[in-house]
Amino acid sequence: MAALPALFGLLMAVVVTGQNLDITPREAVRRVGDDLTVLCKVPYPIDACRMTVGTTSYRLIPNNQEEEIVYAGQGLQHGECGAHIKHIKEEWNGNISCTLPPQTGQIEVIGTMRLLVAKAPANPQLISPPQPAFREGDGFMAQCIVPNGRPAAKITWYLDEVQLLAGIHQPVITSEPGSDLKTISQNVSRTLAPEDNGQKLVCRAEHEALDGPREAARQLVVHYPPKRLESGPITIFGLKLGGEGRLNVTIRANPAPTTEWTVGDLVLIPPRSNEDGSITALEPLHLGGGFYNVTLVLARVAKEDVERTYYLRVTNDLGREEFAVRLSTMDEPAGVELETGAIVGIVIAVLILLIAIILVVFAKATGRWFFAGSRGRDHTKSSGESTPAGDVLLESGTLPSRTSDTESAAGQRSRLSALSARVRAVLPRGRDRVQATEPIPEVEDKALAEEKKGVVYAELALGDQNAEKPPPPSTEYAEIVYTDQPAPVKEAKE
């Protein structure tokens, strides 16, 4: 039965611990020799402050500041039990606990935090395929291992000085049974490109116990066939007739390429010159990073040199590339250089625009397609169809509406003059006949007279007529509409 009160007291301590104790920090990483302050706090006054560090329990008194571990906080009356550890030791790695007994009662509150005493890991190890060189497009995978650190180290990958973000796998952390030392490993995968050649793959390990990062590295060697830096033919500008000419072509290759120049029937393999020494092929000059400068020297540039094409062939174990080189005595044009595809696109666009303009002009001139409607209206007018202004109507069975009384006399005269000219244009020659219809009889109805007023019917015999032949049976009729001013009509009646 005596065990029941003890068990009850333990349960109460756990409850009070979970609800009232605040411990800061709950976890810390420190190097050997660093300092650390741990503060435990409850919302009521406490009777004492006990702190267990490693395997030793310390009773901390606020007025005693001479020991290795001393009291920290605002005082027991404020419910604070803190420990200031002046110099961390290796053996103190583990849990640090604080015990806070109340001023009255038997229930003690206990809190625990985790202290990791940092231990530097071993040097990083870089594991990669054993072959010394790779080809363009090969898949490459490497693994970096940083063993036995407390806590685990941090791994970062670099290609020269540029941090790699693509192809990085998730790290894996392991530990030996019964040991708190951590080993971390991480893989990186990459498809090799010409730009990777000569660069250094670096695995960098960082840790709290290290003064600086440690690295393991491997230089990458990537082989690839010769590659041109610009597409299409190459033009060398700025040469002077009579002066020395240098044809420089920059290429990229690994391993080092061999070159061959063809000038007409002459083939030059560096280092070599023609018989009179006027043309010399130089050895490729390595510029670094797989770049080479290939040069052909002309002792004196002549007119025929400008008119010919020079051919360069670059070869290594993986392939070859050929170049066509031209010379120019003009200065290199400024501005943006367009590739052949862009130039062809511009030419095609200009041709399409010109064809469209020609088609529009042709359609407008011939009245086709979308101009047919307006052309038909113009043709109707020219064929004699009546308008309010008094034009001629052919084959029309309806009388046109009268012109507005507000038209001016000058406007009417001008329309009559134009009408007369058009009628004369359609009248037959002297041998043709024009049969006029009988005049409109007068009607007593004034409204009918007004409506018929100003209308003349004419029968036009069209076509060339021969004296011996009768006119054709078909005729066309036209209504000639005009509007007389009131004053002239009165004079006619008088």
Q: What is the pLDDT of residues 210-261, one digit of tens each?
A: 999 999 999 999 999 999 988 888 888 888 888 888 999 999 999 999 999 9
95-132 pLDDT tens trace:
999 999 988 777 889 999 999 999 999 999 999 999 99
Report whether pLDDT(450) > 60.
no
45-87 pLDDT tens trace:
999 999 999 999 999 999 888 889 999 999 999 999 999 999 9
Report the C-alpha gap between 345 and 339 in whole angstroms. Answer: 10
Q: Could you give the strand order of the β-sheet that contains 162-163, starting from the edge strand earlier in sequence?
A: 162-163, 154-159, 200-206, 214-219
Window from 161-170, 245-254, 372-381, 394-403 with minimum mean pLDDT: 394-403
**pLDDT score for 79:** 92
Mean pLDDT computed over every residue of the chain: 78
Question: For residues 304 and 446, which has the higher predicted lDDT (pLDDT)?
Answer: 304
Q: Assign 28 a pLDDT band (cuts: 50, 70, 90).
A: very high
**pLDDT score for 236:** 87
**pLDDT score for 136:** 95
Q: Assign 396 a pLDDT band (cuts: 50, 70, 90).
A: very low
Report whether pLDDT(202) > 60.
yes
Mean local confidence (pLDDT), 459-466: 45
Mean local confidence (pLDDT), 270-289: 91
**pLDDT score for 381:** 44
Q: Assign 327 a pLDDT band (cuts: 50, 70, 90).
A: confident
Mean local confidence (pLDDT), 431-438: 42
328-338 pLDDT tens trace:
887 766 644 55
**pLDDT score for 58:** 93
Report whether pLDDT(439) > 80.
no
Burial track 369-404 (b if 16+ CB lie within 10 A, e otherwise): eebeeeeeeeeeeeebbbeebbbbbeeeeeebeebe
36-45 pLDDT tens trace:
999 999 999 9
Report the C-alpha gap between 334 and 332 in whole angstroms. Answer: 6
Mean local confidence (pLDDT), 400-428: 51
> 252: which strand partners?
227, 291
| Measured CA distances, 50 to 70, 104, 108, 134 (Å) | 11, 17, 11, 64
**pLDDT score for 157:** 98
CA 47 to chain CA mean position, Å: 70
352-391 pLDDT tens trace:
988 988 888 877 777 766 666 555 555 444 444 444 444 4
Question: For residues 213 and 344, which has the higher predicted lDDT (pLDDT)?
Answer: 213
> At 77, phi and psi to the nearest 5?
-65, -20
Around Cβ 242, how many Cβ atoms within 10 Å? 10
Window from 120-134, 265-279, 416-430 with minimum mean pLDDT: 416-430
Report whether pLDDT(400) > 50.
no
